[in-house]
């Protein structure tokens, strides 16, 4: 008779018990939460056809992405021209093109060097002292592909932060993304998570002019923009267009409470972000520093001292909103708004009866195999049956 060392027997027993513990929730009714704290609560994830769920078809708004990239180009050109003392009479984004008009035609060569820094993805045309810079066909294709890929990754992080829900996220056509999430019956839950881009930026407030003066004049000074507050106060702020620190440099974000015990979001920047934040705050002590989320000013505190890497976003938030906002910020900003083209709540296609029938068939088949093994091979067949049961339990526990 075969003899096995004691530690091997104990190891097999422990692995078997562990498999039973992790497989047990699948035999419990409901979602497995009733199984008690001593058992894992996660069950096998069923597909959309077995348990139903939500189906959304989203369109990535590429027009917004292109406009933002062109505005960023225009701001880069403005800063480079100032640094090189190149004078211009017009610099604006018009109909998908950055339009630049030089005051001195002799500055054309220097201006072209600035334009060519954007690489081969743009085309440059000249008409006298005027230049037009726009994305060429390959540039638009690359931008669209990159934007779709980034959007799909951010969508996955937002709706499945723990990696346990197994959503279906697929590209459909040129600019659409299909999202299917089993077990979520209300599409509004997904739409709420994906409805905001969560683009976080830190920009200095322009104190050379008031918001009221800008509204009376009808336009902000060159290099600045008028933005509303993120509440119902009706307040506006004039902020510089230049982004000093972007939300892409966030390392973490957590729901918390401010010094007045109001819900807030505490954030920390990575090493690069902390360095930039410290440099900006150190050089601008006494100036208001706007925290901007999705084009609205959440707050604009005055810089009291140099700050490295940590901060707090306060506003008219509820506890649920801070939890949701912190999750969204951790997942990252969407590169473009998502427009819902189609939404459906899908019921289980096979239904409980079909699932029950499948379970009965599996049990009957297993029982017949086990009986056959015992009748054909006796004790060795029984041992094989035990090994088969343990194998099934381990598979269920691992899923």
Asked whether residue 109 is domain-assigned, the answer is yes
Q: At which residue do the structure tokens 């998570």 appear?
A: 193
Copy the structure tokens of residue 54.
């939500």
Domain end: 334, 359, 386, which one? 334
pLDDT 10s digits, 350-394: 556 677 788 889 889 989 999 999 999 988 999 899 998 888 888
Task: Residue 361: count other Cβ atoms within 10 Å of its Cβ.
Answer: 10
User: Same structural domain for residues 67 and 44?
Assistant: no
Q: At which residue do the structure tokens 């008009």 appear?
A: 101
User: Same structural domain for residues 205 and 326?
Assistant: yes
User: Same structural domain for residues 43 and 75?
Assistant: no
The rounded distance, in Å, linking the Cα atoms of 50 and 146 is 34
Q: What is the mean pLDDT of the chain?
A: 85
Domain end: 140, 156, 176, which one? 140
pLDDT 10s digits, 177-224: 999 888 777 788 788 888 878 888 999 999 999 999 999 888 888 889
pLDDT 10s digits, 151-178: 999 999 888 887 767 788 999 988 999 9
User: Same structural domain for residues 231 and 312?
Assistant: yes
| Torsion on CA atoms 11, 17, 19, 23, rounded to nearest 10 | 180
pLDDT of 89 > 70? The answer is yes
pLDDT 10s digits, 243-300: 999 888 888 889 999 888 889 899 899 988 899 999 999 999 999 999 998 889 988 8
Give the pLDDT of residue 325: 86
264's CB contacts (< 8 A; 6+ apart) are: 255, 256, 257, 258, 312, 313, 314, 315, 317, 322
Q: Which domain holds residue 282?
A: 198-334
Mean pLDDT across 8-22:
84
pLDDT 10s digits, 55-79: 899 999 999 999 989 988 998 898 8
Q: What's the number of domains the chain is made of?
A: 3
pLDDT of 50 > 80? The answer is no
The answer to whether residues 253 and 265 touch, using CB atoms and an 8 Å cutoff, is yes
State the pTM of this model: 0.68
């Amino acid at each position: 008779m075969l003899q096995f060392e004691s530690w091997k027997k104990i190891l097999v027993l422990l692995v078997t018990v562990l498999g039973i513990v992790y497989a047990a929730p699948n035999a419990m009714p409901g979602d497995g939460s009733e199984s008690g704290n001593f058992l894992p609560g996660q069950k096998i994830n069923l597909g959309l056809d077995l348990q139903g769920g939500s189906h959304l078809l989203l369109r990535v708004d590429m027009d917004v992405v292109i406009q933002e990239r062109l505005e960023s180009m225009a701001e880069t050109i403005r800063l480079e021209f100032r640094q090189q003392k190149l004078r211009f009479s017009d610099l604006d984004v018009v109909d998908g093109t950055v339009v630049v008009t030089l005051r001195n035609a002799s500055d054309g060569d220097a201006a072209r060097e600035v334009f060519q820094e954007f690489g081969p993805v743009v085309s440059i045309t000249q008409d006298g002292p005027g230049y037009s810079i726009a994305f060429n066909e390959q540039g638009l294709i690359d931008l669209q592909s990159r934007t779709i890929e980034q959007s799909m990754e951010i969508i996955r992080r937002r709706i499945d932060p723990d990696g346990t829900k197994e959503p279906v996220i697929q590209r459909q056509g040129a600019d659409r993304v299909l999202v299917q999430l089993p077990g979520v019956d209300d599409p509004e839950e997904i739409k709420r998570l994906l409805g905001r881009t969560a683009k976080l930026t830190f920009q200095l407030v322009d104190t050379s002019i008031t918001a009221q003066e800008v509204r009376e004049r009808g336009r902000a000074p060159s290099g600045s923009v008028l933005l509303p507050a993120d509440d119902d106060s009706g307040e506006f702020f004039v902020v510089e267009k230049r982004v000093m620190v972007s939300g892409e440099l966030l390392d973490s974000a957590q729901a918390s409470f401010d010094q007045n015990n109001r819900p807030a979001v505490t954030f920390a920047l990575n090493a690069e972000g902390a360095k930039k934040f410290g440099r900006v705050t150190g050089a601008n002590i006494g100036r208001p520093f706007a925290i901007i989320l999705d084009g609205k000013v959440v707050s604009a505190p005055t810089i009291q001292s140099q700050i490295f890497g940590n901060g707090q976003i306060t506003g008219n938030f509820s506890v649920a909103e801070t939890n949701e906002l912190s999750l969204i910020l951790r997942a990252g900003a969407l590169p473009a708004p998502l427009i819902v083209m189609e939404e459906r709540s899908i019921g289980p296609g096979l239904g409980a009866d079909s699932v029950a029938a499948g379970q009965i068939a599996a049990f009957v088949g297993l029982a017949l195999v086990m009986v056959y093994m015992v009748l054909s091979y006796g004790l060795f067949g029984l041992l094989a049956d035990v090994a088969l049961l343990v194998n099934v339990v381990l598979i269920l526990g691992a899923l």
